[in-house]
Amino acid sequence: WAMKGGFGAGEARVSEGAIWAFVVTNCLGDVYDPASGIRLAGSRGKEGPLSTPPFLNTTLAVVVFELLLSREELLSLVPVVHSALAACIRPFGTLYDGDTLFLVAFGRIAPRNYLLLVEGIYHAIAEATTNSVKKASSLCGIPACVVQ
């Protein structure tokens, strides 16, 4: 009753460095392309969408910044990553999902424009999330995304 999720990567550049996002989806919610609004993958049944059993779902995300960011700055960006995932996965963060987010920074230059940083996070997360289902392959009768 499900569709195949998987692993996806995305990248965005800001003037001070790069942002990489890595997402693994096995989510309860449907995955959408936030740019087009097209539903790429999700729960399904014989007659259409159907919920999957609870407590078997998760989304994992790692966001790596080639930027100088403090622990406090990284913590302030967690809601941004959460919002970016929620733009792609609907519903996101349910009681039936075990979602986990990691943010890591290793750069030497601090970002100058917070809004461009937020935009970069949204782009990288959207690309990684959509790639996680677009690049998945069918397995054991579980279909994969057919929209490329």
57-83 pLDDT tens trace: 889 999 999 999 999 999 999 999 999
The CATH number of whichever domain residue 110 belongs to comes to 3.60.70.12
| Residue 74 CB partners (closer than 8 Å, separation 6+) | 65, 103, 104, 105
Does a structural domain hold residue 148? no
pTM: 0.88
Find out whether the peptide bond into 91 is cis, omega within 30 degrees of 0: yes
Mean per-residue pLDDT over the chain, rounded: 88
How many domains is the chain built from? 1
Q: Is residue 146 in some structural domain?
A: no
Ranges of H-type helices in 32-113 = 71-88
Model pLDDT for residues 117-147, shown as the tens digit of each residue = 999 999 999 999 999 998 877 666 676 776 6
Structure confidence at residue 110 as a pLDDT band (50, 70, 90): very high
